[in-house]
Amino acid sequence: MNMRPQTLTAASEAPAYRDTSYWLETCQDDLTPRAQLKGQVTVDVAILGGGFSGLWTAYYLLRDNPGLQVAILEKDVCGYGASGRNGGWCSSRYPLDAGTLAKRYGVEIGHKTLQAMYDAVEEVGRVCQQEGFDAEYRQTGILSLARGKAQVPAIQAAHRAYERLGFGEQNRLLGAEEASEKVRATQVEGALHSPRSATVHPAKLVRGLAHAVERLGGVIYEQSSVTAFEPGATPRLHTDNGVLIARKAIVAAGEAYLTQQPRYRRTLLPMSSLIVLTQPLSPAQWASIGWADGEGLGSQVNMVDYFTKTTDGRILYGSRGAPYHMHSNMDQPWDAATAKTMRETLVEWFPALDGIAFTHSWAGYLGVSRDWTPTISFDPQSKVGQLFGYTGRGVSTTNISARILAGMITGKPTGLEFLPSVGNRSPQWEPEPARWLGVRYVQDGFARMDAAAKAGDPAPLDAPLVRQLSKQ
């Protein structure tokens, strides 16, 4: 089944939301949209977006400030965006790699940031437990493989960066033999093993959070698209049928979709990301692959690859590669050619799976900031709070970002305000058509570099330029 995203209009069409991703299909929650916003409503904090960012923000605002009035406007249903479509890695990796963190912000901030990320991974599991919902949270760890000798320097460099930041022991280098004992993929030359990460069923997490927010008194309006975002002394969010006025803050928690609002057009870039999913593997197939601990698996390719083992015994494989469209158009996240290559690549990793059926595939958008650094900010003058720009590493980062933002809005610092995201102002993306030309050039360059590495050929002549243009 190719699960293409679509926008729905009537509650009777609710089952189609289930077709958005395997996760929403199997989340065991009723996806009938909640009531729409109608008329004028006043609350303390009004949030745009019912994904992890919006829901975590609402959760911490309400949990730590009983009596506060918080409402969320979601254009479809909670979890319809990236939060209900992702790879399920609740990763301890901050959107900037350890090496870049150290270089750009210094060893002390780098160390504290990584520590905060480890804590965020645990906090996600803790909230699931405290709130009594099962998001299939499993502390599986991550195994970053070097596939082919050319990828070995990348895991060695990453390990050196972790050592520099004081986390060398938490991120262990494995040789080819030890890595292959963990997972029998082809071409394994080594791995970086990071045990302190988890995997989740993202739709169970996002839908569980929505119910937790409601239990704490929050109100969620669904199928309520914000058409205007109005800062000011009494800021407000407008929809076609109503207006949500806020006493304290309006919050932009729409990640990639924010690019469709005039205010955020060049703040982020919507990057499509694809996922293909196999049927459940047989016990014999699992025996041939190993991968008993179900770590998040990936390698060092430029186009990004990640594998997740689902609790019902399937393999989820995610990668990027769908072309960026001019003016950040978000109508075409799907790319059949990329999906075909992905299905073939999965079998290259695991030849024993030749002929396996792929039951689901879908795409979603992640928000990429110009410097790969997320933003968390609150301006008391305009009363605008913002959190976005996770560049594909948002499952855990949204949690920490929301905790900090909730504290900023209510004047209760969390002690985490050292995070590079706090008050960050990423440079704007270039105006079109320069943005389109640059992004497509880098996407094409990455594909050519990966193809050359796979074939054992020298890197393309323009590889240094591509690397420079795509530098974090």
Ligand X SMILES: Cc1cc2nc3c(=O)[nH]c(=O)nc-3n(C[C@H](O)[C@H](O)[C@H](O)COP(=O)(O)OP(=O)(O)OC[C@H]3O[C@@H](n4cnc5c(N)ncnc54)[C@H](O)[C@@H]3O)c2cc1C
Contacts with ligand X by CB under 6 A lie at 48-54, 73-76, 80-83, 85-89, 91, 225-226, 253-257, 273, 275, 318, 364-366, 388, 390, 392-395, 398
The nearer residue to ligand X, 82 or 101, going by C-beta atoms, is 82
Neighbours of 121 (CB within 10 A): 24
SS3 443: helix
**∠ Cα 386 132 419 (to 5°):** 30
Nearest approach in angstroms of CB 219 to ligand X is 14
Which tokens in the block code for residue 67? 């009596």
The nearer residue to ligand X, 216 or 405, going by C-beta atoms, is 405
The nearer residue to ligand X, 158 or 271, going by C-beta atoms, is 271
The nearer residue to ligand X, 180 or 398, going by C-beta atoms, is 398
Q: 84: closest CA among 390, 373, 365?
A: 365
Q: How many helices (H) and strands (E) does the chain have?
A: 11, 19
Nearest approach in angstroms of CB 150 to ligand X is 25
Residue with tokens 């304290």: 248
Find out whether 77 and 223 touch, Cβ atoms under 8 Å. yes
Nearest approach in angstroms of CB 339 to ligand X is 12
The CA–CA distances, whole Å, from 7 to 252, 363, 463 equal 20, 14, 39
The nearer residue to ligand X, 190 or 374, going by C-beta atoms, is 374
Distance CA 451, CA 109 (A): 36
Nearest approach in angstroms of CB 83 to ligand X is 3
Nearest approach in angstroms of CB 221 to ligand X is 9
The nearer residue to ligand X, 108 or 312, going by C-beta atoms, is 312
Nearest approach in angstroms of CB 239 to ligand X is 7
Annotate 232-277 with DSSP letters as a single string.
SSS-EEE-SSEEEEEEEEEEE--GGGGGGSGGGTTTEEEEEEEEEE
For ligand X, which residue has the nearest CB?
Answer: 394
Q: Which residue type occupies 141?
A: G
Nearest approach in angstroms of CB 288 to ligand X is 25
Within 132-241, strands assigned E span: 142-147, 172-175, 188-194, 198-199, 219-221, 228-230, 236-238
Nearest approach in angstroms of CB 425 to ligand X is 18
Residues, the chain: 472
The nearer residue to ligand X, 210 or 356, going by C-beta atoms, is 210
Buried-exposed string 64-100: b where 16+ CB fall within 10 A, e elsewhere: ebeebbbbbbbbbbbbbbbbbbbbbbbbbbbbbbbbb
The nearer residue to ligand X, 110 or 367, going by C-beta atoms, is 367
Residue with tokens 């440079």: 427
Nearest approach in angstroms of CB 259 to ligand X is 10
The nearer residue to ligand X, 218 or 254, going by C-beta atoms, is 254
